[in-house]
Every structure is written in C-alpha cells, then in structure tokens.
Structure 1
Amino acid sequence: MSSLVTEIHTRWTSLRSGGVATPDGLPVSTLTIDTGHGAAALALDEQGRSQLLLPVAAGTRRPSLDTPPALEVGAALLTGDGQRRAYLVVTCLDPRLDRAFADLVEAVLTRVISGEPAKDALVTAITDLGALFASHDTEAVDDRIIRGLIAELVVMRRLAARHSGAPALWFGPVPERHDFRGGSHAIEVKSASRSAGRVTISSADQLEAPAGGTLQLWRVALERTQGGATVSSLVADIEQHSGRSAGLRSGLAALGCHDPDDKDWNRMSFNCEGIDAWTVEPGFPRIVASAFKAGAMPAGIQGLSYELDPAVAEAFRADEAEMQAQEARLAASLP
C-alpha cells in the first residue's frame, strides 16, 4: 500500500473518530494538494460514507461519464476556508469498497499533482479503475474459484518477476481460451490438490495452441494450510514488481473480487507444492475440435469437459528451463 493511500485511510479513520465539521456540516480533512482552484479534501457525508472533494472552476458541471453503481459523482458549492467554492464531490456508496475507493482517490490526486485538471483526472481515474466498483456479490465465494485464482496468481507472480507488465498477459477472468497469452504463445493454468492430481479441461479449444504458436499446460499443486499464500499476499507480491496495476485489479473485479484484501476472498491460504508443465503439441492426450471430421465438434455437442491425467503425457513434460523459455516468449510481446 502506498504512503498516499495509507494517509487517505488514516484521515478517513480520524474523521470517523470525531473530525471537525465545516459550516456545511461535513467532517472534512484538507489535503496539501492544490487543484489550481483550492486544496483537495477528504470528507464524510451525512451517512458517514467516504468522499473526495475536488475544487474546480466556478460553473463546472458534473462530468459526463458512466459512473459505477457504487460511486456517486456530483457538483456542489461548499464553504471552505471561509470561502464558497465549486467542488466535484465523489462519494463511495458501499463502505466495503473503501479500500478500492482509496486507490481511486490516489489515482486522481497523483494526476492532479502532475498538472492534470481535476475534472480530467477524475474522469481518467474512473475510466481506468471503474471495474473495482461494480456491484459485488454478497454470497460466499466458492472455494474452487479461490483455489483457481490462487493458482493463476502464483503463475503471474513468476511472470511479474520477469517483466513488470505481466498483468497484461492475464486473460483468465475473461472468456478467452487460455489463462495467459502473449502474441502467439500461451500458458493454460490448472490447480490440483497434489502434484500427481488430475486436471479438468473445460472446453474443446482449451488445449488447442494459438495459430502458429505454442502452448504449455501448467499444473499448480496447492496444499491448503494456515499462513500460506492468499489472494491478498499474492497481489501484493505481484504489485511489488508491476506497481499498482489497473489491469490486475480489473481482472480481479471481473471475477467478483473487488477488493483483494476482502476477508471472504482470503479465508483460504495455500502452500504451492510445485508447478509441473507440459508442452501441448500433436500427440498430447487431449480432445480438440480439430480431431473430429471437418475440424469441428459433432453436431449437437455444445459443450465439453473432461479430466486429464498428465501422467500419461510424460513424453511432453517441460522442465524448468523450458518453462522459463515459454515465460520469455510471452513477455517478449510486452512493450
């Protein structure tokens, strides 16, 4: 967590402990960051919800943009330092998303510090990070989803150690056939409870290599334990290399994980017992559309999933050097 995000959280906490109210009745904590029309501030609304106050030119209207359901953006005249000023007021409507809101506030203020107009900075930040504030499911997260995400984050941590842009290679949360792809090279990640476990292949194209490229299947053996790797710790490890990543956060949000520190997503922790890999090429045991007549699935078959025991594919096993070579191929596509 950056020092600015820490300061933002600390100030909201202080306001909730009894911050001084302005003539408008809002508990406000003024920052040292000037927008050119006055100092930005943090505040709480009448319901105690976190807010960002951005001074703007008189007459500035609310920006025209698709605002996520958990955010509210408005324009208001407020009294500060004895003066009546125009502000853009951003409110986080869901207290569970305060951590994500702090990240958004940091993004806005960082752009303001670099000289970007406050309104433009706000629009850009919401456009980049809006997925963090989509409506989030209050039901318990399925254990299998957490385990699968942990496996993919373990692989992303390896890739991030090689290239800071690694989160851009992650396609696991979106309907693409492979979890990681760079150019015409891909890695499909599967989790298993032990190093000799079977893996589930969920479609007929999942083990089809990209056209003109290469594909490796990686099996991440995860043993559930106390004090092991969690979603939160893995995201922190990855962002040690990549910096705060809008791509990573958006991908998490697409899975329903709007806050990587959320207790529900971190109720399970795992030790990675090892990663095994296989090069998927002709002869590898798999069911793919190209194996059928006319290169298509039989009429009437709309979906396919099956269990694969990689033990029968020993001839295709990839060692650590080959795994690293595949990582390098993917990373080569990054700027």
Structure 2
Amino acid sequence: MSDETLRRIVENSWHALEAEQATAERRLRTTPLPVDTEQGPLTAAVDHDGHRHLLIPVPANRKIRTNPDGPVLRLSGRALEDADTYQSYADLMLLEGDFGDLFTGLCVDVLDATRESPHAPIKALYGVLDRWKALFRAQRALLTPDQVVGLFGELTILKRLLERDPGAHRLWHGPSGYRHDFWGGATAVEVKASTSPEGRRPRIHGLDQLEAPAGGELWLAWFRLQRVMSAGVGTGFTELIGQTLYLCDDEQALLDLLAGAGFRPTDTDRYRNMSFLIGEERWYRVTPDFPGLTGEALASAGLTISALDVAYSIDLSGETPVPLPDDEVRAVLDRLPQEST
C-alpha cells in the first residue's frame, strides 16, 4: 500500500469520525487503521472537542514518554475499554487544527514504521517522532526581531493586494531574493520598515534595488512600526499572517512563500507576543534624482562597477523627496494586480 493511499485512508477515517455525533466528554470515536501489531491495529480517533488522535496499542504495563507535550502535539498513555476488551495505547494527539496536514504526514510515517516493525510499535513511534524533531531542529532558525519587522511591512502590503485580488501572492517576490519585494511587470514596490523612533533611514541592499524594472516604475514604501505589548492593541505578527492566508486563494502557495521568508507554522507560538502599530507610512516614487546608489547611475557616470554585496542607508528624513498622496498610493496598489492577470 502506497503512502498516498495510506494518507487518504487516514484522512477519510478522521473525516468520517468528525461527522459522527459527539458523545460524552471523555469518550473517543474510533476506527481501526490497516496496520496491525501484536496488540491489535493502530487506530484513528476523534475526541469530544474535535481533536484528532493516533492510537498505538501497547502492553498494559508499558510506560509512555511524555514528549512531545506542547501547544501542537501531545503524547500520553490512554486505556480504552468496551464490553469485551480493555486495551492500553500510546495516544498521539493534535491540539492545534491548523497543522492537520503535517499531523497526517507524521501519522503516515508512524504507520509505515509500524508496518516494518509490528512487534515493536512504540519503538517505531519514538523513532519517527525523534526524526521529525531533528528535522525541525535543523531547519527551524527563528526570524530575528529585525526580520520580523521587515516581514511585517511586506505582509501589510500583501494583505492590501490580496484584498484587491485573492491571487496577488504571485506578486510577492521578496522571499525568493528578487531585488524588489513586489513586482507585476511594469510596476515594482520595495518595502522598508523600522522600529526606530527617529529619522527615516532605510537600508538598501545591492546596486539594483533602487533601479526600476525595464520600461517601468519603482515605488518605495516606508513604515515606522511601534512594538506594543498590551493585548488588543495593534496587529499581531501571526494575526497578520492569518489574515493573508484567509484572503489568499492558494493557501499552500502562500505558506511556501512564508517558508522562503523564514516563517514556519510550527513556530507560531514563538511569535504570538509580537504586535505592532503603524506609526507612520510614506510612499515614494523612485525617480533618477531619488537618493541612492545604483549600477545604472555609476555606468552613466563612466565608472567601472566592480563592487559586490553593496549595502548602504539613505536618509528620507528631510522635506524631500516628497511622499505620495493617498490617492496615488491606492492607484499603485490597484495597478499591480492588474499587471499580473
């Protein structure tokens, strides 16, 4: 039986159980899965609160490790009894419904491992859990505070674009390392954000970041953000991510983009206390006289470009350049999705 078939069986089992009438609070609705052990089959289950479980049968005297035990997964011992049988289980439970697909993949791996070692299902379970833990430990470098601020600025623009077009995630090129954060063809937007209470000094990366697309126009959006700690004040970083996922017509594509930007859903709880207010927002059209250093300007001056990894700051604290009025900002946001259709 292929993993895809097994995955479909597991998903269908949970869906069928979820459709059944909930009973008493401490009871589970269960259905056996097509992988047997010496103690009986592995079992899919759904509890009174709608949480999904994978039950691995174990001898009655077997101690179950209590790891993982966190906001997403919980492993514990559980006994089920009916009129004819009494069976002990290792109960792997999903606490956070947003991770259903990942949990299904984890459970399929457990079923595969148990099928290979039906005499040692608990060892198979621990082995799969440890491999998944090692995978996430190796890949899960958290975003730095400055990276969160920068991503919050980009997601603010993305949300406005998605409100205009649910497929506007296609315009977001920042996670891929493209020189501009948003690009539709003739229009590009570069986003900068800072929590500094003074000045407007965005950091520019590369000699081409302030160069407009060929035959097109470039706009720079600058945000001053204020970190807030009070509940109900400002917009949470993970709240903003949830809003963009809700608006997007291809959630998985957006999750892939977020992963490219360094955010993974498994780290959601690590960012829950990060909320921001937008204290100031300014948009600029990047014209030839806009402050900055570009490869085009250097070439026009007859200079040979041999510098690599150029990064510098520009100062937008004065009266010039003049920021765009709100109606022109809306026009830019309206135009971008139209270019991608």
**Normalised TM-score (structure 1):** 0.62
The 5 Å alignment of 1:1-335 reads 20=30, 22=32, 24=36, 25-29=41-45, 44=54, 46=56, 99-102=98-101, 137-193=139-195, 194=197, 196-226=199-229, 227=231, 228-243=234-249, 245-259=251-265, 262-293=268-299, 298-312=304-318, 314-335=320-341
Q: Structure 1's 29 and 295: CA in aligned 2 closer, same or farther, altered over 3 A?
A: farther
Distance, in Å, in 2 between the alignment partners of 1:201 and 1:183 is 21
Residue identity opposite 1:259 in structure 2: P
Residue identity (%): 26
Whether contact under 8 Å (1:289, 1:295) holds in the other structure is no
Distance, in Å, in 2 between the alignment partners of 1:17 and 1:255 is 42
Whether contact under 8 Å (1:204, 1:304) holds in the other structure is yes
Pairwise CA distance, 1:295 = 7.6
Whether contact under 8 Å (2:43, 2:56) holds in the other structure is no
Pairwise CA distance, 1:303 = 1.5
Residue identity opposite 2:213 in structure 1: P
Distance, in Å, in 2 between the alignment partners of 1:313 and 1:189 is 20
Residue identity opposite 2:209 in structure 1: Q
Q: Structure 1's 313 and 45: CA in aligned 2 closer, same or farther, altered over 3 A?
A: farther
Q: How many residues align?
A: 244
Whether contact under 8 Å (1:284, 1:313) holds in the other structure is no
Q: Which structure has the larger Rg over C-alpha atoms?
A: 2
Which blocks of at least 5 consecutive residues in structure 2 are unaligned?
Answer: 1-10, 47-51, 58-63, 65-91, 105-134
For the residue of structure 2 that corresponds to 1:321, the secondary structure is helix
Note the aligned Cα RMSD (angstroms).
3.8
Residue identity opposite 2:146 in structure 1: R
Residue identity opposite 2:307 in structure 1: I
Pairwise CA distance, 1:164 = 1.6
Distance, in Å, in 2 between the alignment partners of 1:319 and 1:172 is 25
Residue identity opposite 1:242 in structure 2: C
Distance, in Å, in 2 between the alignment partners of 1:301 and 1:191 is 26
Whether contact under 8 Å (1:151, 1:220) holds in the other structure is yes
For the residue of structure 1 that corresponds to 2:268, the secondary structure is coil
Whether contact under 8 Å (2:187, 2:217) holds in the other structure is yes
Which blocks of at least 5 consecutive residues in structure 1 are unaligned?
Answer: 31-41, 49-92, 106-133
Distance, in Å, in 1 between the alignment partners of 2:96 and 2:249 is 20
Whether contact under 8 Å (1:173, 1:254) holds in the other structure is yes
Pairwise CA distance, 1:195 = 7.3
For the residue of structure 2 that corresponds to 1:189, the secondary structure is strand
Q: Structure 1's 316 and 171: CA in aligned 2 closer, same or farther, altered over 3 A?
A: same
Distance, in Å, in 2 between the alignment partners of 1:223 and 1:248 is 26
For the residue of structure 2 that corresponds to 1:246, the secondary structure is helix
Distance, in Å, in 2 between the alignment partners of 1:244 and 1:232 is 18
Q: Structure 1's 20 and 160: CA in aligned 2 closer, same or farther, altered over 3 A?
A: closer
Residue identity opposite 1:191 in structure 2: A
Residue identity opposite 2:160 in structure 1: R
Residue identity opposite 1:293 in structure 2: A
Pairwise CA distance, 1:324 = 1.0
Pairwise CA distance, 1:18 = 5.9
Pairwise CA distance, 1:103 = 7.7
**Normalised TM-score (structure 2):** 0.61
Whether contact under 8 Å (1:284, 1:316) holds in the other structure is no
Distance, in Å, in 1 between the alignment partners of 2:162 and 2:266 is 17
Q: Structure 1's 243 and 235: CA in aligned 2 closer, same or farther, altered over 3 A?
A: farther
Distance, in Å, in 2 between the alignment partners of 1:97 and 1:319 is 43
Residue identity opposite 1:225 in structure 2: V
Q: Structure 1's 238 and 140: CA in aligned 2 closer, same or farther, altered over 3 A?
A: closer
Distance, in Å, in 2 between the alignment partners of 1:197 and 1:222 is 12
1:251-280: CA deviation from partner (whole Å, max 9, x where unpaired): 111123121771123342111123101100
For the residue of structure 2 that corresponds to 1:232, the secondary structure is helix
Whether contact under 8 Å (2:167, 2:250) holds in the other structure is no
For the residue of structure 1 that corresponds to 2:334, the secondary structure is helix
For the residue of structure 1 that corresponds to 2:32, the secondary structure is coil
